[in-house]
Chains A and B, each alone.
Chain A
């Protein structure tokens, strides 16, 4: 066991994957000598060479499209998108090529591409540097989407993503990069939890709180704060956004009767909507209240001085829990709202 920051854990996972398989190549802007703007690839070019840690021209579609060509030739490219908001120029290559080539070729061509995306807000960045675009990709068949919430998962899941024969979007919560945690580097991929599995972080009996990525830490704080008010919260880290591992969530909701989902991404059409609908379908007879979403607003990610209003924090999620519990909350008294349908 060692204490590693989130960023170092990903770095260690990348190193391990590159040692394991010579076909693993890293691609992205500034990832070589600089080690990436967040230093996630620090030292890897020095150790593996410029042909395996490829500093690319500044062209996201170009990076993604050439990664497709490398995968076509049997490589396993790991692409770094420098910031979440820069993924859009590569959108076509991801959703129309990376996602579909296996289907298009009846399984003849595999696309084992890992797309690393530092995502989410909370670091006071300018526009395009704090977005949560995951729902665009969970909506696209052929892609797997995961998000990591702690250094141990970050270390294992980056290796699992690279080992997967499917393309994986790997969303890294950039504001947690410096968070330290225990990492057991001896864990073998074959014995680690599957890439698609959710994790019950802490158990509780009154309400199920589902989060992923940067909001898992916030959800843990929420559980502690709610406990002070006598509410027992079960926190689930989704880990995999596509596919969603429903059985542990179903089991939890059958126990608690209540579901709250929290994410930074905008509400409409987001993961919260999918979870609320699917859990309602699967657990309708067990629900004691309508599922509650606590999300970013349906606005462009705001300027950094305003982001504290947009990103769900401890108080907003606690308010969501009050709604699910039928306790007085911020929407109480609003006509037609029944205290539960708005974030």
Chain B
């Protein structure tokens, strides 16, 4: 018997994991082919039949703008203006399609990559860049946009979404909750516990998994032996697997899930099969862990190109329209750059703010002592963190 035949305990089986591709990438719902052809699907078509040409152009513009934001933020990071950036390059359709399905009263619990969703929620992305610049952990008021601030602990937000949705049920409110996470997060206990709770309490929450194929350097095959969407039914949660680079399929699936949530149907799970074209963050180097051919394959499935092709075929993407979209994207990027670079340095004593809602004597003492210490450097340096060096 060869080592390979000796079963999971054999070393050959272990080494085999490295090259695992994971579940098939084309077993999903697709309404728009990579070439931009509109594909018919009786179950899903009715959920997007209301879309006007303007809507389609709008999604195109959204995707171009968020890609442009990515380019600008990456440049800002390379120029030392941001400490880090987590690009969504390649995942524009997954984010824009799902976010455009939401109502204002719905609540979003994101991970740290949902800049496209934040853009759709009306959040000025300088508030996201503030986080990556190191000025704040948050960036915006969650209640103003019905979107929580980025979550860095992988999968933790899926429980928050579920708890929030349990509250929605208790309140008898007519809204739904969506939570975003990646293929890597699907391995976390919290995501699985969230599905248990969501099913048990029939919480109106949509689990939106962006399977972008890579958890930093770990391929999806290390997380999943079969489609991630297949897990949810085991928890009693219906699931859909859609082409995550197809903005129409994503929109339709999310509308279905949100409709179910709002009508007492409980949770749903969506796996959007997409691909992270860039690095996990600006700190890693994907050439170390992935094949250039894989990137090429996915470039041919680009979400913007394919919607562009559909619009082109409809005669909607005129040179004028294209230029208008590009001008908007460039303006957003220009403003983003200017507003990011001009962000004021946070004041030193802000480090003590908002740790507690109510006075905490130990912290108050430390604040008082540090204030006294800073005062020793004179008024000019009193508020600047660098004034503390000696």
Interface residues of A (CB under 8 A from B): 25, 51, 56-57, 59, 61-62, 64-75, 89, 92-93, 96-97, 100, 102-110, 112, 141-142, 144, 164-166, 196, 242-246
Contact = CB atoms under 8 A, between A and B. Distances in A.
B24 interface: no
A71 B362 CA distance: 25
B238 to A, nearest CB: 19
B265 interface: no
Contact of A62 (B168, B194, B353, B358): B194
Contact of A69 (B164, B189, B354, B362): B164
23 contacts: A59-B197, A61-B159, A65-B159, A65-B163, A66-B163, A66-B194, A68-B160, A68-B163, A69-B109, A70-B164, A72-B167, A73-B164, A97-B156, A105-B137, A105-B138, A107-B354, A108-B142, A144-B356, A164-B358, A165-B357, A166-B356, A243-B361, A246-B361
Nearest to A112: B357
Nearest to A67: B163
Interface string B143-161: 1000011000100101111
**Dominant secondary structure at the B interface:** helix
B159 A62 contact: yes
B360 interface: yes
Contacts of A72: 142, 148, 160, 163-164, 167
A103 B137 CA distance: 8
A243 B138 contact: no
B165 interface: yes
A109 to B, nearest CB: 6
Nearest to B168: A73
Interface in B246-302: none
Contacts of B358: 164-166
Interface of B: 109, 136-138, 141-143, 148-149, 153, 156, 158-168, 170-171, 189-190, 193-194, 196-197, 200, 353-358, 360-363
Given A96-B156, A243-B363, A66 B197 contact: yes
B143 A108 contact: yes
A260 B166 CA distance: 47
Contacts of A105: 137-138, 141-142, 149, 354
Nearest to A62: B193
Contacts of B354: 102-103, 105-107
A242 B163 CA distance: 27
B87 to A, nearest CB: 22
A2 B161 CA distance: 43
Contacts of B200: 57
A104 B138 contact: yes
A231 to B, nearest CB: 31
Contacts of A25: 170
Given A64-B159, A69-B163, A112-B357, 10 more contacts: A61-B159, A62-B159, A71-B163, A72-B163, A97-B153, A106-B354, A108-B142, A242-B362, A243-B362, A245-B361
B159 A96 contact: no
Contacts of A70: 163-164, 166-167
A144 B360 contact: yes
A57 to B, nearest CB: 5
A234 B189 CA distance: 48
A73 B160 CA distance: 10
B120 to A, nearest CB: 20
Given A65-B163, A104-B137, A106-B138, A59 B196 contact: yes
Nearest to B364: A243
A64 B194 CA distance: 11
A73 B171 contact: yes
Q: Pick the most buried of A97, A104, A110, A112: most chain B CB atoms within 10 A of its CB.
A: A104
Contact of A108 (B109, B138, B158): B138
B188 to A, nearest CB: 9
Contacts of B197: 56-57, 59, 62, 66
Contacts of B190: 61-62, 65, 92-93
A166 B358 CA distance: 7
A245 B365 CA distance: 12
B170 A59 contact: no
Given A96-B153, A102-B355, A103-B354, A65 B142 contact: no
Nearest to A274: B362
A107 B196 CA distance: 30
Contact of A196 (B165, B357, B361): B361
Nearest to B179: A69
A65 B355 contact: no
Contact of B357 (A57, A64, A93, A107): A107
Contact of B159 (A66, A73, A75, A107): A66
Contact of A107 (B149, B167, B353): B353
A27 B354 CA distance: 26
Closest CB pairs A-B (n = 9):
A69-B163, A65-B159, A66-B163, A62-B193, A73-B167, A165-B357, A69-B164, A107-B354, A69-B160
B156 A65 contact: yes
Contacts of B164: 69-70, 72-73
B141 A93 contact: no
Nearest to B137: A104
Contacts of B194: 62, 65-66
A69 B167 contact: yes
Nearest to A102: B354
Contact of A57 (B138, B196, B355): B196
